[in-house]
Every structure is written in structure tokens, then in C-alpha cells.
């Protein structure tokens, strides 16, 4: 029933629009950090918008009844990882400062929805272990760029905790890959076709 609902063409179309708009806003949100970033790191700085871009591409492929297995693997891993990561960072900022404004709550809601979408659309993905391996390389490489070269998203209230956040992020990457393997590769027999 749930798979039929989220595989419905109208729902996929609505989510395509919502995710496309969210992706554009996400890149806009990173504009000031990108202004201070060396061009070589550009692709690795806006983590969440790139994750939602991957998922938007997946939804666009679904609408034309196609699969891009490389992008599906990247979408699952990054959508879940950065969705959970951003929720955690905003809630940690709240715990540290005692304040969370409307924008931060919007980020919690939208990034929480990213992680949920990754899980909801798992039955529709068609990626295999080789696709997931490439997604793993991309995601661990992104962690290195963020925490070795200092390109992680800016949360000034949490600056003292960057080593701990980096450790958390590493294990969040591992969890995201494990879920992608469990739901997308190992349980391939539970895959569902897209509806009309």
C-alpha cells in the first residue's frame, strides 16, 4: 500500500517539484560559504543540496520510467546521511545555545524529510554492489574533504566540537551505506515497480 502510494506518478511528480525547489534553495543557502571556498572544493561543500539533486534526478528518471543505478545509490546514501546529519546539527545547536529560530526548524523538517524519502523509495531502487561501492567512495571522500580540509557546513555554535562531529559523521556514513546495502542490494527481492 505504501509502495503503491509513493510509486504513484502524481506523488512522484509532486516530490520532483518539491525536491527541485529545495535543491535550488539549498545551493542558495550555501552561497556565502561558497564565496569563501576554493573552486577545487565547490562540488563537496553543498552536501544536502547535492543529495537532494541526486534524488531529484532519480525522481525525474522514474517519471520517464528509467533507472540510473549510479545516481540511485548516491541518492540513497547521501539523502539519508545528510538528512540525519543536518537534523542532528540543528538540534545540537539548540542544545548549545538554547535557541532555535524558524529557519532552523524549517531545516530540521526539510532534512528529516530527506532521510525519510531515502527510506520510502528504497523499494524502487535498482542499484547493485558496484553502484554502492562508488557511492561509498564518493561519500567517504566527501568526509575527508569536510573534516581534513575544513569544508564542512558552518555551524558556529558547534566549532568546539568539530572532531566529535567528524567522528559522528564517519559512523553516520557507515550506517547510511549499511542501510543502502540492506534495503537496496541484499533485499532486492522486495523491489517494487513504479505505478502509473
Domains of the chain by residue range: 2-190
Which one, of 21, 70, 26, lies nearest residue 48 by Cα?
Answer: 26
Q: Is the pLDDT of residue 14 over 90?
A: yes
Q: What is the pLDDT of residues 138-166, one digit of tens each?
A: 999 999 999 999 999 999 999 999 999 99
Place of cell 541526486: 54
The tens digit of pLDDT for each residue in 161-191 reads: 999 999 999 999 999 999 999 998 987 656 6
Q: What is the average pLDDT across 81-100? A: 96
Q: What band does 7 get if pLDDT is binned at 50, 70 and 90?
A: confident
pLDDT, residue 1, reads 66
Distances (CA, A) of 10 to 17, 63, 196: 11, 9, 8
Mean pLDDT of 48-67: 96
Task: Decide: 70 and 131 in contact? Cβ < 8 Å.
Answer: yes
pLDDT score recorded for residue 196:
47
CB of 121 within 8 A of CB of 187?
no
What is the rounded distance in angstroms from the CA atom of residue 75 to the CA atom of residue 58?
Answer: 8
Amino acid at each position: 500500500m505504501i509502495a503503491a502510494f509513493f510509486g504513484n506518478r502524481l506523488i512522484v511528480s509532486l516530490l520532483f517539484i518539491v525536491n527541485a525547489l529545495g535543491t535550488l534553495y539549498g545551493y542558495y543557502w550555501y552561497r556565502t560559504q561558497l564565496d569563501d571556498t576554493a573552486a577545487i572544493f565547490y562540488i563537496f561543500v553543498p552536501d544536502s543540496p547535492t543529495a537532494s539533486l541526486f534524488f531529484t534526478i532519480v525522481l525525474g528518471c522514474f517519471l520517464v520510467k528509467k533507472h540510473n543505478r549510479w545516481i540511485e545509490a548516491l541518492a540513497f546514501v547521501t539523502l539519508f546521511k545528510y538528512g540525519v546529519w543536518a537534523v542532528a546539527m540543528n538540534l545540537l545547536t539548540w542544545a548549545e545555545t538554547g535557541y532555535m529560530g524558524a529557519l532552523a526548524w524549517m531545516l530540521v523538517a526539510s532534512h528529516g524529510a530527506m532521510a525519510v524519502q531515502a527510506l520510502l523509495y528504497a523499494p524502487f531502487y535498482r542499484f547493485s554492489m558496484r553502484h554502492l561501492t562508488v557511492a561509498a567512495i564518493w561519500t567517504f571522500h566527501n568526509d575527508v574533504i569536510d573534516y581534513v580540509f575544513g569544508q564542512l557546513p558552518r555551524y558556529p555554535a558547534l566549532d568546539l566540537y568539530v572532531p566529535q562531529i567528524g567522528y559522528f559523521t564517519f559512523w553516520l556514513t557507515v550506517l547510511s551505506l549499511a542501510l543502502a546495502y540492506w534495503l537496496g542490494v541484499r533485499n532486492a527481492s522486495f523491489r517494487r515497480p513504479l505505478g502509473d
